[in-house]
Amino acid sequence: MNYCSTNNKGVSSTFREAVIKGIADDGGLFIPSFIPKLPTLFFDSIEKYSLQEIALEVAKNFIENEIPNNEIKRIVDKSISFDSPLFKISENISILELFYGPTLAFKDFGARFMANVLSYLVNDENQQVTILVATSGDTGSAVANGFYRVEGINVIILYPSKKISEIQEKQLTTFGENITALEIDGTFDDCQRLVKTAFVDKDITREMKLSSANSINIARLIPQTFYYFKSFADLKYKKRKIVFSVPSGNLGNLTAGLIAKKMGLPVHKFIAASNINDIFPKYLNSSNFEPKTSIKTISNAMDVGNPSNFARIISLYNNDYQKIHKEIYGDSFTDEETILSIQELYSKNKYIIDPHGAIGYLALLNYLKLSKDKDIDGVVLETAHPSKFYDVVNSAININIEIPESVKIIMQKEKKSISISSNYSEFKELLLRK
Q: Residues 287, 331: contact at Cβ < 8 Å?
A: no
Domain annotation covers residue 294: yes
pLDDT tens digit sequence for 338-350 = 999 999 999 999 9
Domain annotation covers residue 392: yes
Cα angle value 283/285/287 (rounded, 5°): 45
107 in active site: yes
pLDDT at 238: 65
**pTM of the complete model:** 0.88
Domain annotation covers residue 402: no
Q: Residues 131, 143: contact at Cβ < 8 Å?
A: yes
Output phi, psi for 67, to 5 deg: -130, 130
pLDDT at 405: 87
Residues above pLDDT 70, as percent of the chain: 99
At residue 74, the 3 state secondary structure works out as: helix
Domain annotation covers residue 289: yes
Q: Considering its fold, how many domains does the chain have in total?
A: 1
Domain annotation covers residue 417: no
| Identified catalytic residue from 107, 196, 261, 388 | 107
Q: Residues 363, 271: contact at Cβ < 8 Å?
A: yes
What residues make up the domain containing 277? 82-102+221-397
Q: Which of 315, 329, 317 is nearest to 272 (CA)?
A: 329
Residue 180 exposed, middle or buried by CB count within 10 Å (0-12, 13-18, 19+): buried
Strands 8-13 and 3-5 come out as antiparallel
For residues 85, 157, 187, 174, the Cα torsion angle rounded to the nearest 10 degrees is 80
Domain annotation covers residue 173: no
Q: Give the rounded distance of the alpha carbon of 433 from its chain centre.
A: 30
Residues of the chain with pLDDT under 50: none
> Could you tell me the CATH number of the domain that includes residue 374?
3.40.50.1100
Domain annotation covers residue 286: yes
pLDDT at 125: 60
pLDDT at 211: 84
Domain annotation covers residue 407: no
Q: Give the rounded distance of the alpha carbon of 44 from its chain centre.
A: 28
